[in-house]
């Protein structure tokens, strides 16, 4: 799959994720895809298991904002925020493609934190 095709597949994936369209969201994955959550030490093996796990999430996201998609070849990174029950999580998804499907994804989740005042004269605020 060429890079434009991967970018289109990623856009469809993230739009479906935001809309809660669980079937379209998982079209991007290979049947034997692996998804890792390093912060919790979990690995999910297989598209069907990943879709089943996500469909049982007790809270649906109330906000989803893709900030940037960057990649080339078979390695693509998406930076986004997702809001669950009023809490924003800054998220990075690293996807590895083979034959147009995701074969491995690693997701990192981070809570926002207050910037320390001592840095204020050297930094700019971002949205």
Q: Which two tokens stand for residue 113?
A: 């934190």
Q: Are the C-beta atoms of 47 and 54 separated by less than 8 Å?
A: no
In CATH, the architecture of 3-112 is Roll (3.10)
Predicted confidence at residue 1, as pLDDT, reads 53
Separation of alpha carbons 20 and 101, rounded Å = 20
pTM listed for this prediction: 0.90
At 56-108, the pLDDT tens digits run 988 777 888 999 999 999 999 999 999 988 899 999 999 999 999 999 999 99
Predicted confidence at residue 39, as pLDDT, reads 95
At 34-48, the pLDDT tens digits run 999 999 999 999 999
Domain ranges of the chain: 3-112
At 12-34, the pLDDT tens digits run 999 999 998 999 999 999 999 99
Residues 6+ apart with CB under 8 A from 51: 22, 23, 25, 26
């Amino acid at each position: 799959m060429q890079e434009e095709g991967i970018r289109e597949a990623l856009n469809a994936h993230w739009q479906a994720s935001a809309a809660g369209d669980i079937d379209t969201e998982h079209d991007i994955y290979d049947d034997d895809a692996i998804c890792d959550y390093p912060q919790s030490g979990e690995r999910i093996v297989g598209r069907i298991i990943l879709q089943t796990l996500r469909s049982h999430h007790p809270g649906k996201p109330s906000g989803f904002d893709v900030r940037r998609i960057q990649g080339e070849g078979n390695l693509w990174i998406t930076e986004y925020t997702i809001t669950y029950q009023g809490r924003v999580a800054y998220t990075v998804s690293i996807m590895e493609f083979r034959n147009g499907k995701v074969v491995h994804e690693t997701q990192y989740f981070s809570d926002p934190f207050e910037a320390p005042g001592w840095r204020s004269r050297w930094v700019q605020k971002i949205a």
